[in-house]
Amino acid sequence: MAKKQFKAESKRLLEMMINSIYTQKEIFLRELISNASDAIDKIYYKALTDDQLVFNKESYYIKVAADQANRTLTITDTGIGMTKEDLENNLGIIAKSGSFAFKNENEIKDGHNIIGQFGVGFYSAFMVADVVTVISKALGSDEAFKWESKDSDGYTIVPCEKETVGTEIILRIKENTEDEQYDEYLEPYRLRAIIKKYSDFIRYPIKMDVKEQKLKEGSENEFEEHQEEQTLNSMVPIWRKSKNELTTEDYNNFYFEKRYGFDQPIKHLHINADGAVIYNAILFIPENTPFDYYTKEYEKGLELYSNGVLIMDKCSDLLPDYFSFVKGMVDSEDLSLNISRELLQHDRQLKLIAKNIKNKIKSQLQSILKDEREKYEQFYKSFGRGLKFGVYNDYGVNKDDLQDLLLFYSSKEKKLVSLDEYVSRMPEDQKYIYYASGESIERIEKLPQIELVSDKGYEMLYFTDDIDEFAIKVIAKYKEKEFKSVSSGDLGIESDASDNKADTEESESKDLFEQMSTILAGKVSSVKASKRLKSHPVCLSAEGEVTIEMEKILKAMPNSQDVKADKVLEININHEVYQSLKAAYLNDKEKLNLYTNLLYTQALLIEGLPIQDPVEFTNDICKIMV
């Protein structure tokens, strides 16, 4: 049985296709310029095998010209041109790509530059034009032809005159409508911006005649209009240049031109990967936190190019959240694009690139930490919090990647130190990595709880960021060493004389402490003789998973759960206050009540926890004054 071809209402089909695959009208220019560039590339490839043909780069260009009076926009190229058959096949058959066929026929494996592949880009012209005219003369041919389509409703082809080889595409731009300002596609400044955005790295010059007001010769205030042909694109993408050719200034200029940020990046990374995936990338680590960085509005992502043509502004799949501060771009030939060339299918190549990039950023940060400490600290000030969130999020799956990038303030060094530095200088008898949490370094330094660890001469990490303790809980152990809060129950410090004293006193004063626990019922789980206090009379510590600092943070969160630390009131038995407590216990129950509540409230104040009844507290103080 003879096979029949589907018939289609081509006008409808075209309209449907054009309007469903492209979300932005401005990309028509990207598509037409890409085609022009492909056409020039084809001459270049032909010249590689044809001795008769010399490819003299200077004579190839693309030109864009707007004529506002006639509402036309013309894109001219000096490329390979099209024969009558080519016009018929490539522009007359939807989804037929002459460029794709060319790549196959000529066995161009590197595919380096030819962009076309789907055979639909050309029709995007109908998004902005109601008449599209193509005048073309093919390489090696004497005759030229004119292809024309009105309202995408069929087309005509007739012979015409054209002197030089190449193609001219004339769009008659639609009239403005209520929703759409088509006029803008006739404005030179707008055209320039679109070209810069999508086609800046097309390898051939994209030219336009630009009118400018210039001072009249010999005059100081008289202007005259001056027309000049300008090249709008930078042509050679900086990422395809060799690293040795480029200076930090070149990279910084690129960062600025691209508006990645207004600061000076602290580091750039130039990657030319040609392993399992081939891609080029230029990445930047900014110096300053963008103003919206810690808000929902901030969008992470890298620019994604395919063969030098911008495909996506912010490809978020290329960066993990914890490296969302990284700016820059990736260019790859290996991507499988979907038909609109705007979106990517969930692409294996993209995943590989993302993984590759992640590792490169990580090792870059590690080497800055190692070799340029000051720079790293500057970076950490801006983005360290994000790294700590990265450790904490997703149940810590990324902690191994990130823990070596963390810094915390050290009680001994009086500056930021890494976990590795901390652990490497731990004395042999020190079991844990100690940390103390609080609002600020100054406040932590005054905490009674740090006395024992500090007397012992051990280094402590000070946690002043609300995420710190949560991140550390997720890490749990670094190089086999567990983390320990200075206010946790067992500090793992070898018991000495005062410890034993505390134990004996504890049993002797069992009744006193029990009595005090009863007074504070519901507020603390027990009252104990402290093994960590040296000079302060009292402090709170926590038993169990939730520390006091965590309780504070959780309480401050919106819709907070009422999570409470299991608090213990610790009394310093070497302090005079302890004697007063004992005396009160024996002689004056009322006084014991008063003292207990006062000590408890003081401990809350030291911790920075809210006190339930400040008036009662001041009244209590007055009671002991009279």
For ligand ADP, the closer CB: 81 or 448 = 81
Binding status of residue 310 toward ligand ADP by CB under 6 A: no
Instruction: Name the residue with the smallest CB distance to ligand ADP.
Output: 98
What number of chain residues touch ligand ADP (CB under 6 A)? Answer: 22
Least CB distance to ligand ADP at residue 113 (A): 12
Q: Measured at the alpha carbon of residue 38, what is the angle toward residues 32 and 44, in degrees to the nearest 5?
A: 150
Q: Report how far residue 550's alpha carbon sits from residue 567's, in angstroms, rounded to the nearest whole number.
A: 12
Q: Report how far residue 611's alpha carbon sits from residue 607's, in angstroms, rounded to the nearest whole number.
A: 10
Q: Where are the beta strands (DSSP E) in 474-515?
A: 477-478, 481-485
Query: Site residues (CB under 5 A) for Mg ion?
Result: 35, 116, 121
For 263, what's the count of Cα atoms within 13 Å in the CB-facing half-sphere? 17
For ligand ADP, the closer CB: 127 or 368 = 127
Q: Pick the closest to residue 491 from 532, 458, 539, 545 (CA basis).
A: 532
Binding status of residue 286 toward ligand ADP by CB under 6 A: no
Least CB distance to Mg ion at residue 121 (A): 3
For Mg ion, the closer CB: 35 or 356 = 35
User: Which residue in 35, 152, 356, 382 binds ligand ADP (CB under 6 A)?
Assistant: 35
- Are 160 and 66 a contacting pair, CB within 8 Å? no
Instruction: Name the residue with the smallest CB distance to Mg ion.
Output: 121
Binding status of residue 167 toward ligand ADP by CB under 6 A: yes
Q: Is 24 left (phi over 0), alpha (psi -120 to 50) or beta?
A: beta
Residue 175 DSSP one-character state: P
Q: Report how far residue 394's alpha carbon sits from residue 400's, in angstroms, rounded to the nearest whole number.
A: 13
Least CB distance to ligand ADP at residue 147 (A): 10
For ligand ADP, the closer CB: 79 or 328 = 79
Q: Pick the closest to residue 169 from 128, 202, 204, 198 (CA basis).
A: 128
Binding status of residue 119 toward ligand ADP by CB under 6 A: yes
**Cα dist from 585 to 87, 459, 516, 620, whole Å:** 105, 39, 9, 18
User: Which residue in 97, 288, 307, 602 binds ligand ADP (CB under 6 A)?
Assistant: 97
Pick from ligand ADP, Mg ion, none: which does 513 bind, CB < 5 to 8 A by kind? Answer: none
Binding status of residue 332 toward ligand ADP by CB under 6 A: no
Burial of residue 529, with CB atoms counted within 10 A of its CB: 0-12 exposed, 13-18 middle, 19 or more buried? buried
Binding status of residue 120 toward ligand ADP by CB under 6 A: yes
Binding status of residue 100 toward ligand ADP by CB under 6 A: yes
User: Which residue in 78, 83, 99, 307 binds ligand ADP (CB under 6 A)?
Assistant: 99
In the three-class reduction of DSSP (H, G, I as helix; E, B as strand; rest coil), residue 525 is classed as: coil
User: Which residue in 26, 31, 41, 401 binds ligand ADP (CB under 6 A)?
Assistant: 31
Least CB distance to ligand ADP at residue 19 (A): 16
- Are 529 and 509 a contacting pair, CB within 8 Å? yes
Q: Report how far residue 263's alpha carbon sits from residue 290's, in angstroms, rounded to the nearest whole number.
A: 9
Binding status of residue 517 toward ligand ADP by CB under 6 A: no
Pick from Mg ion, ligand ADP, none: which does 39 bind, CB < 5 to 8 A by kind? Answer: ligand ADP
User: Which residue in 36, 467, 474, 486 binds ligand ADP (CB under 6 A)?
Assistant: 36
Which part of the chain contacts ligand ADP (CB under 6 A), choosing from 30-38, 103-111, 196-204, 506-514? 30-38
Least CB distance to Mg ion at residue 108 (A): 16
Positions in 76-95 near ligand ADP (CB under 6 A): 77, 79-80, 82, 90-91
Question: Which secondary-structure segment (H or E) carries 167?
Answer: strand 166-173
Burial of residue 319, with CB atoms counted within 10 A of its CB: 0-12 exposed, 13-18 middle, 19 or more buried? buried
Residues in the site for ligand ADP, rule: CB under 6 A?
31, 35-36, 39, 77, 79-80, 82, 90-91, 97-100, 116-122, 167
